[in-house]
Amino acid sequence: MSRYRGPRLKKIRRLGALPGLDKLVKDLDPEVSSKLRSGKRSQYRIRLEEKRKLRFHYGLTERQLLRYVHIAGKAKRSTGQVLLQLLEMRLDNILFRLGMASTIPGARQLVNHRHIFFHGRIVNIPSFRCKPRDIITTKDNQRSKGLVPNYIASSDPGKLPKHLTIDTVEYKGLVNKILDRKWVGLKINELLVVEYYSRQT
């Protein structure tokens, strides 16, 4: 199954707040969202909706998400927490959380168009996994540096997760450490996602 490219607000109204998918979520009335999702739901449907929420927020294909679940399942720690850490440490998500892009699809486009430097080298793989002490900057030309400032200026510094640091003068981001569960940008029950996939096998 390919990456979703349809109407974003439609998915947000169905699944709830997906800040990585669209900034329009700020204007969405939570009561409207809850009414659209009301009604009797089976356990399978609840798990499926949590899985879809995770997939659409991070902009993953079904195959990509399944691969992350398999990697997380091999870890000795909680599968759900490892899964969220893997997704949060993707380069496109790091750019979004730093405020260098308004959405995760926007961050993915920055990477694909080769505007992002990773330790001084161009990287064009949005799924690249970041690690502590990684430094992310924009390409040193007028076009690349003109894309990021507006996003940084409009982002809320108070929402910057503790595992990241942003230099608003040089437009440079630093990954300090692996994030804690409480700083995940999406309200989700990751255990239901793990249960969904465990029941598929």
Read off the pLDDT of each residue in 94-107 and give the average, rounded to a whole number: 90
Does domain 8-87+186-198 fall under CATH 3.40.50.300? My reply is: no
Residues 6+ apart with CB under 8 A from 120: 137
Residues 35 and 121: their CA atoms lie apart, in Å, by 48
pLDDT for the residue 7? 65
Largest interatomic CA distance in the chain? 54
E strand residue ranges, 62-152 = 116-118, 121-122, 135-138
pLDDT for the residue 30? 47
pLDDT for the residue 9? 64
- For 90-178, CATH gives 3.10.290.10
Extents of the domains making up the chain: 8-87+186-198, 90-178
Residues 6+ apart with CB under 8 A from 147: 110, 115, 138
H or E element at residue 166: strand 164-167
pLDDT digits (tens, 9 = 90+) for 9-26: 666 666 777 776 665 554
- Beta strands across the sheet bearing 116-118: 121-122, 116-118, 135-138, 172-175, 164-167
Count of positions (residues) in the chain: 201
Nearest to 189 by CA among 2, 11, 15: 15
More confident residue, 13 or 195: 195
Q: Which amino acid is at 84?
A: L
H or E element at residue 106: helix 104-112
Q: Of 62-71, 101-110, 126-135, 151-160, which range is least confident? A: 151-160
Residues 144 and 112 sit within 8 Å (Cβ to Cβ): no
Q: What's the distance, Cα to Cα, between the start and end of the chain in Å?
A: 18
pLDDT for the residue 95? 93
The predicted model scores a pTM of 0.82
